[in-house]
Amino acid sequence: MNYLTIFKNWVPYAAIITLLCGIIFITTQQSFRSTADDPQYQLIEDGTVAINNGANPKSLVNPAQSIEISKSLAPFIVIYDSGGNLIAANANLDGKALTIPKGVLNYIEKHGKDAATWQPRPGVRLAMVGMKSDAGKIVIAGRSLRKVEERIARLGEQVLFGWGCSLIGLLIVVVFQDWMTKKYSRD
């Protein structure tokens, strides 16, 4: 058995398998993450339309349904005026009102819209989107990324398992091919 030949025959296919597994992981992970924003887009678009049509921003948020974002998967909404002052919110973190960083508000004020992942403290990661209304109000919606990140971790385990099995299977095929080539080249 010629180990150098086996290695030379195995490496190019192993590289292709590795590349394909990487592509599968990255594209699926990005799909999981991008769809994590869907409920928030619905909330901010509906909220800005309502504000543009004259609705009181406080009427869009039910303060009685305060969401503790460190424990809940529920989407939440936070509304600011053009000066960056909180008007209404149904979200809190560790019992305190959720405060969006001024840089985020300034960016939305300038560009009209933003989407970002935010980690207000370790263990709490949020998918957030924001939009500026024609009336100058900034509507921000978010939700926990906990379940999405659990799915991504599970995806990583599955792709890693498939990658390992594929490399081992490929090695078996290459060793068998080498053995068959030597066996029939002697005859």
Q: What is the pLDDT of residue 187?
A: 58
Name 148's Cβ contacts closer than 8 Å, sequence gap at least 6: 32, 33, 36, 127
Q: Identify the segments of the chain with pLDDT beneath 70.
A: 1, 186-187
In the chain, what is the straight-line distance between the N-terminal and C-terminal CA atoms, in Å? 16
- Domain 37-149: assigned CATH number: 3.30.450.20
In the three-class reduction of DSSP (H, G, I as helix; E, B as strand; rest coil), residue 61 is classed as coil
d(CA 142, CA 38): 10
Q: What is the pLDDT of residue 182?
A: 82
d(CA 36, CA 18): 27
Write the pLDDT tens digit of every residue in 13-40.
999 999 999 999 999 999 999 899 999 9
Q: Where are the domains of the chain?
A: 37-149
Q: What is the pLDDT of residue 74?
A: 93
